[in-house]
């Protein structure tokens, strides 16, 4: 199975770092041509399952304009230009919750939408989190943080109360490690 | 936490069912205005963790043009217009692998990108799969199917060989059920 060959490429929208939409005419290895195939490059982000010293995990709840409802997420945020995913995870955890952690483990960096972009979400487990500051939010952020034990998070995934794909993946990957894989 | 108020809305690209990009000026409950906020509505899809009668799971490998590499996925496919997610899961499983199943369980329907769209991936567990036909692929599909035991899939998630977010989420949700939640 070989890559598709790009015959022509045309940027329709360039609003990077948020979104760039490109349409391409591509030739498949079997000779079939697809016209105006769409790519949609989006911004990468990091997400953190942070376990505090007393065994709880900060979970944030905020309004999300995609589904136009409140959504539960683990602390997460977009990478700045050129920023290392781990540095972004540490920065966002501190900004959103005021926690710092020494013991970090990379869980996985997963493709967001393999048909449209190479962009990934970088998922981390951080153990031994301690609060050193109050949350520091910008004026577009309005979120509530609660501390949950891992069993609660799993119950919320099972009941679909937690229904954001990245958050589901990050919780289950973290629990796989914590359960002694 | 209240919804954002939409002040104006402008469709930049309408290529539904694949992609529709909209920019909106929105007012947050705290009075802050965000100009040209981007929404990107994408097509919903279903994905299936299908366990055969002898305890194996079809895994497909195909070229994906986002990362421009071969990607492992569980059988999956886009919903047709108005199609029920379970019907789409059953149709795609049959098309991609030739398997049919009687025992279906909905695992979760998860938000693909909560900042940009309300679109979801619909994740299913199907038990007792049996092959009744050869795969029936269209000319844009070139995929290889292998049968894996669940432990192999978990090992591939842990090693990051399986690195597509939806596939990671679907495998871990299915294993949670199979492990007797």
Domain at B111, CATH number:
3.90.79.10
Q: Tell whether A14 and A79 lie within a shared domain.
A: no
Q: Tell whether B49 and B38 lie within a shared domain.
A: no
Digit-coded pLDDT (tens) for B56-85: 999 999 999 999 999 999 999 999 999 999
Contacts B154 to A, Cβ<8 Å: 176
Residue B143 has what pLDDT? 86
Q: What's the average model confidence in pLDDT over A50-76?
A: 97
Rounded to a whole number of angstroms, the CA Rg of chain B reads 19
Residue B181 has what pLDDT? 67
The C-alpha angle B165, B168, B169, rounded to 5 degrees, equals 85
Q: Tell whether A143 and A173 lie within a shared domain.
A: yes
The tokens for B133 are 């036909």
Indicate the range of A108-122, A124-138, B9-23, B77-91 predicted with least confidence: A124-138
Residue A42: pLDDT band with limits 50, 70, 90: very high
The C-alpha angle B128, B105, B61, rounded to 5 degrees, equals 65
Contacts B144 to A, Cβ<8 Å: 1
- Taking CA–CA distances from A18, the nearest residue in chain B reads B38
Single out the residue of B12, B72, B15 nearest to residue B43, CA to CA.
B15
Q: Tell whether B100 and B38 lie within a shared domain.
A: no
Domain span at residue B79?
Answer: 45-178
Q: Tell whether B96 and B119 lie within a shared domain.
A: yes
Q: Tell whether B11 and B62 lie within a shared domain.
A: no
Mean pLDDT of chain B: 96
Residue A181 has pLDDT above 80, yes or no: no
Q: Tell whether B140 and B163 lie within a shared domain.
A: yes
pTM beyond 0.80: the answer is yes
Q: Tell whether B66 and B36 lie within a shared domain.
A: no
Q: What's the average model confidence in pLDDT over B146-167?
A: 98
Indicate the range of A135-139, B43-47, B67-71 predicted with least confidence: A135-139
Residue A1 has pLDDT above 80, yes or no: no
Q: Which residues contact B125 (CB under 8 A, 6 or more apart)?
A: B48, B49, B51, B104, B105, B107, B173, B174, B177, B178
Residue A131 has pLDDT above 80, yes or no: yes
Question: In this complex, do B68 and A19 lie within 8 Å of one another by their Cβ atoms?
Answer: no
CA-to-CA distance for B96 and B143, rounded, in angstroms? Answer: 8
Residue B139: pLDDT band with limits 50, 70, 90: confident
Mean pLDDT of chain A: 96
Q: Tell whether B33 and B98 lie within a shared domain.
A: no
Q: What's the average model confidence in pLDDT over A49-72?
A: 97
Residue A34: pLDDT band with limits 50, 70, 90: very high
Contacts B69 to A, Cβ<8 Å: 3
Residue B112 has what pLDDT? 98
Q: Tell whether B9 and B63 lie within a shared domain.
A: no
Residue B171: pLDDT band with limits 50, 70, 90: very high
Q: Tell whether A120 and A169 lie within a shared domain.
A: yes
The rounded percent of chain A whose pLDDT value lies above 70 is: 99
Domain count, chain B: 2
Residue B134 has what pLDDT? 87
- Taking CA–CA distances from B162, the nearest residue in chain A reads A110
Q: How far off is chain B from A73, nearest CA to CA, in Å? A: 10
Q: Which residues contact A127 (CB under 8 A, 6 or more apart)?
A: A51, A101, A103, A105
Q: What's the average model confidence in pLDDT over B144-153?
A: 96
* DSSP H or E stretch at residue A170: helix A165-178
Q: Which residues contact A166 (CB under 8 A, 6 or more apart)?
A: A45, A47, A73, A76, A110, A121, A123, B165
- Taking CA–CA distances from A114, the nearest residue in chain B reads B66
Q: Tell whether A81 and A150 lie within a shared domain.
A: yes
Q: How far off is chain B from A82, nearest CA to CA, in Å? A: 19
Residue B2: pLDDT band with limits 50, 70, 90: confident
**Least CB–CB distance from A67: residue in B34, B118, B176:** B118
């Amino acid at each position: 199975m070989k890559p598709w060959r790009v015959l022509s490429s045309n940027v329709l929208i360039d609003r990077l770092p948020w979104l760039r939409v490109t349409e391409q005419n591509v030739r498949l290895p079997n000779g079939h041509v697809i016209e105006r195939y769409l790519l949609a490059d989006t911004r990468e982000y990091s997400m953190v399952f942070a376990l505090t010293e007393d065994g709880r995990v900060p979970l944030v709840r905020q309004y999300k304009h995609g589904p136009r409802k409140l959504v539960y997420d683990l602390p997460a945020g977009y990478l700045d230009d050129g920023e290392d995913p781990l540095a972004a995870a540490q920065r966002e955890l501190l900004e959103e919750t005021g926690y710092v952690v020494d013991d970090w483990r990379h869980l996985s960096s997963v493709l967001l939408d393999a048909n449209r972009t190479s962009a990934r979400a970088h998922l981390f487990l951080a153990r031994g989190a301690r609060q050193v500051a109050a949350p520091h939010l910008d004026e577009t952020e309005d979120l509530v943080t609660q501390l949950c034990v891992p069993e609660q998070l799993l119950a919320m995934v099972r009941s679909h109360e937690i229904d954001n794909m990245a958050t589901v993946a990050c919780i289950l990957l973290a629990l796989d490690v914590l359960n002694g894989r």
